[in-house]
A and B are shown apart, each in its own frame.
Chain A
């Protein structure tokens, strides 16, 4: 029996663990979505928030780069409409309104449970790097600072993080820090079955998690 936390719940936990997360708030109505987007500032992203919808973008539940209140209203209606038609039985808690992630290189940090070694942590570059090239590094939790650094250096795409063709290098220490904090989080929470920060934007000055998903081994409700 597992419990899939919503993006909103997952980000709350990750944020509490000391990891920088893009500002994400929950809107239960269209009006709330507009108010929140004005407060956090355009452009914003909006995503369906439902414990029953895991693949949000495949279900028409994600709208990015919304620049004004009209766009937000339209996006709200479209997201809700798609959810109602494709997942009629899903429990819909609303939509999350999020600040658009800063420009950076997409990376992935994840945790899974190996039957032999327990929690293992993974790091890689996002997109085709992980999907097609499987360019990822693993370590058994808990990891040391040295392990985290070696994981980052181990992937073939590492030169992209160091800055190539005149681009600024990303803040590797900030990525390292997230790896360490996620390792710590997994160690303190043995009930974590799976955790995905995908993507984490590695920028010149910082690293920010733009999406999060946590799956727990749980029988009952978990207090957040």
Chain B
């Protein structure tokens, strides 16, 4: 078993820190782990405590009566080198340094960080951190979040989130509310040792992970990054958001992480060579993977659009072309079917506005026939459906849900949805229900179209490279 897997699949962990109750710390970590259903052995270590949450506390790492796969260190930064030394003597190979006060703080902290790296290297220990709280493996209930997040269980699924910021950790992002599932979460913190390449390698081989979404501020080894990513991208999509896209941003990023500024033009070239999909916004780290997590891969790039307004249909068309999608032309059969439902309806984008206005109450009876006809059209590879959640939400909501249930069984094409309407509560409720059913709903129209575009581009890229995608995402 490679050492990196001990960070996610430990059978036994030691937690070295204070067990005083509060909203942050070792005490919370043990509570979260238990609530999340972690079954491995937990060994709290602190000479001043006897027991915490009914678990025996050991006075030192050496006193733990069994082997330790992974140690969490949450002590003052000056004590960290000593504790890593104790871990080394105990034969621990994987350590997460939660403590802060290292390179992110000042010169003295930077020297301290070098010292712990040095001790770890000599002992063959790998470190994640320092200054990190984030590791999660949903498959074994391993959620050692040291913050009170208000939840501990995260739905299992194919999306791995890796990042160089705490902004993607369970205390900062509402994982429990997501409609899609997560495989692993990892926050590198100061990234003194374990880095993006180690994680790419591990997640690339992780059968539970189908898509990797990464936020990076720096790259430790450009060549290794390129070579590792090249091996992973034919098997699963790798999405990367990198800060520092402007020279000013690059300088800020370099000083934040204490590493070399990355020339964005060169990084972009490397991504193209490696088959990495670059993201542009923080929200995309979570929005774009949904299409891979929830929907089947598109068979081609011909997009069909069903919309309640012509304007939005045109906006979607503009976006679609930006991301390499082509506007589908309906087959004669579909056009005829639609025209028989309402004259002039048989064209993409399919504009429901006039029908809704003309048929008023009777419209929702026609609606399912329209979407079913369009989704079954042989000229359409992927579909954007724009839903208007009207004020009589209760009735129409049921019609939408029934229709989507049917599509889930019958439609082998990816379908993305954007919802709008006069009530935030109604649209949010319907969005959530659709996502729980397995249909990605996007916060804005452009994100919905872009995700489809990215899914198509990835599909084409894999085909060209002759790669073998076993689609762990699509069930």
Is A115 touching B269 in the complex (CB atoms < 8 A)?
Answer: no
| B window 30-77: CB within 8 A of A | none
On chain A, the residues within 8 Å of B265 by CB distance are 138
Please, what's the 1-or-0 string for A26-57, where 1 marks a CB less than 8 Å from any CB in chain B? 00000000000000000000000000000000
Please, what's the 1-or-0 string for A110-122, where 1 marks a CB less than 8 Å from any CB in chain B? 0000111110100
B266, B269, B273: most-surrounded residue (chain A CB, <10 A): B269
In whole angstroms, how far apart are the Cα atoms of A118 and B267 in the complex? 12
Is B226 touching A140 in the complex (CB atoms < 8 A)?
Answer: yes
A204: interface (CB < 8 Å) = no
In whole angstroms, how far apart are the Cα atoms of A73 and B112 in the complex? 70
**Cβ contacts A to B, 12 pairs, < 8 Å:** A114-B222, A116-B219, A117-B266, A138-B265, A138-B268, A138-B269, A139-B273, A140-B222, A140-B266, A140-B273, A147-B272, A147-B273
In whole angstroms, how far apart are the Cα atoms of A138 and B222 in the complex? 15
Is B273 touching A116 in the complex (CB atoms < 8 A)?
Answer: no
In whole angstroms, how far apart are the Cα atoms of A153 and B223 in the complex? 24
A191: interface (CB < 8 Å) = no
State the main secondary structure of chain B at its contact with A: helix
A150: interface (CB < 8 Å) = yes
The answer to whether residues A137 and B222 also contact, given A115-B260, A116-B263 and a CB cut-off of 8 A, is no
On chain A, the residues within 8 Å of B226 by CB distance are 117, 140
Residues of A within 8 A of B (CB): 114-118, 120, 137-140, 143, 147, 150
| A-B pairs with lowest CB-CB distance, top 5 | A117-B222, A116-B222, A138-B269, A114-B266, A139-B269
On chain B, the residues within 8 Å of A118 by CB distance are 222-223
In whole angstroms, how far apart are the Cα atoms of A47 and B260 in the complex? 40
| B window 216-248: CB within 8 A of A | 219, 221-223, 226
Min Cβ gap B334→A in Å is: 35
In whole angstroms, how far apart are the Cα atoms of A143 and B269 in the complex? 11
In whole angstroms, how far apart are the Cα atoms of A18 and B176 in the complex? 60
Min Cβ gap B196→A in Å is: 13
On chain B, the residues within 8 Å of A117 by CB distance are 222-223, 226, 266, 270
Min Cβ gap A123→B in Å is: 11
In whole angstroms, how far apart are the Cα atoms of A150 and B272 in the complex? 9
B182: interface (CB < 8 Å) = no
In whole angstroms, how far apart are the Cα atoms of A139 and B268 in the complex? 9
B262: interface (CB < 8 Å) = yes
Min Cβ gap B335→A in Å is: 35
On chain B, the residues within 8 Å of A150 by CB distance are 272
In whole angstroms, how far apart are the Cα atoms of A116 and B254 in the complex? 13
Is B260 touching A120 in the complex (CB atoms < 8 A)?
Answer: no
A114, A116, A137, A150: most-surrounded residue (chain B CB, <10 A): A116
How large, as a class, is the contact surface on chain B?
10 to 19
Please name the residue on chain A nearest to B274 by beta carbon.
Answer: A140
| B window 270-289: CB within 8 A of A | 270, 272-273
In whole angstroms, how far apart are the Cα atoms of A180 and B69 in the complex? 48
On chain B, the residues within 8 Å of A140 by CB distance are 222-223, 226, 266, 269-270, 273
In whole angstroms, how far apart are the Cα atoms of A139 and B272 in the complex? 8
On chain A, the residues within 8 Å of B273 by CB distance are 139-140, 143, 147
Please name the residue on chain B nearest to A117 by beta carbon.
Answer: B222
Extra inter-chain contacts (12) besides given A116-B222, A138-B269, A139-B272, CB under 8 Å: A114-B266, A115-B260, A116-B263, A118-B222, A118-B223, A138-B265, A138-B268, A140-B222, A140-B226, A140-B269, A140-B270, A150-B272
In whole angstroms, how far apart are the Cα atoms of A120 and B268 in the complex? 12
Is A116 touching B260 in the complex (CB atoms < 8 A)?
Answer: yes
In whole angstroms, how far apart are the Cα atoms of A150 and B265 in the complex? 15
A138, A139, A150: most-surrounded residue (chain B CB, <10 A): A138
The answer to whether residues A116 and B269 also contact, given A140-B222, A140-B226 and a CB cut-off of 8 A, is no
Please name the residue on chain B nearest to A151 by beta carbon.
Answer: B269
Min Cβ gap B166→A in Å is: 25
On chain B, the residues within 8 Å of A114 by CB distance are 222, 263, 266
B221, B222, B267, B273: most-surrounded residue (chain A CB, <10 A): B273
In whole angstroms, how far apart are the Cα atoms of A104 and B53 in the complex? 79
In whole angstroms, how far apart are the Cα atoms of A115 and B223 in the complex? 11
Please, what's the 1-or-0 string for B188-223, where 1 marks a CB less than 8 Å from any CB in chain A? 000000000000000000000000000000010111
Min Cβ gap A141→B in Å is: 10
Cross-chain contact of A137 among B219, B223, B269 (Cβ < 8 A): B269
Is A116 touching B272 in the complex (CB atoms < 8 A)?
Answer: no
Min Cβ gap B92→A in Å is: 32
Min Cβ gap B331→A in Å is: 32
In whole angstroms, how far apart are the Cα atoms of A113 and B272 in the complex? 18
Is A120 touching B269 in the complex (CB atoms < 8 A)?
Answer: yes
On chain B, the residues within 8 Å of A147 by CB distance are 272-273
On chain A, the residues within 8 Å of B268 by CB distance are 138
Please name the residue on chain B nearest to A144 by beta carbon.
Answer: B273
Min Cβ gap B427→A in Å is: 40
Min Cβ gap A160→B in Å is: 21
Min Cβ gap A193→B in Å is: 16
Min Cβ gap B459→A in Å is: 17
On chain A, the residues within 8 Å of B267 by CB distance are 116
In whole angstroms, how far apart are the Cα atoms of A137 and B270 in the complex? 11
In whole angstroms, how far apart are the Cα atoms of A138 and B223 in the complex? 15
On chain B, the residues within 8 Å of A137 by CB distance are 269
In whole angstroms, how far apart are the Cα atoms of A116 and B263 in the complex? 9
Min Cβ gap B175→A in Å is: 32
On chain B, the residues within 8 Å of A116 by CB distance are 219, 221-222, 260, 262-263, 266-267
In whole angstroms, how far apart are the Cα atoms of A92 and B459 in the complex? 58
Min Cβ gap B106→A in Å is: 25
Min Cβ gap A119→B in Å is: 10
Please name the residue on chain A nearest to B219 by beta carbon.
Answer: A116
In whole angstroms, how far apart are the Cα atoms of A116 and B259 in the complex? 11
On chain A, the residues within 8 Å of B260 by CB distance are 115-116
Please name the residue on chain A nearest to B220 by beta carbon.
Answer: A116
In whole angstroms, how far apart are the Cα atoms of A139 and B260 in the complex? 19
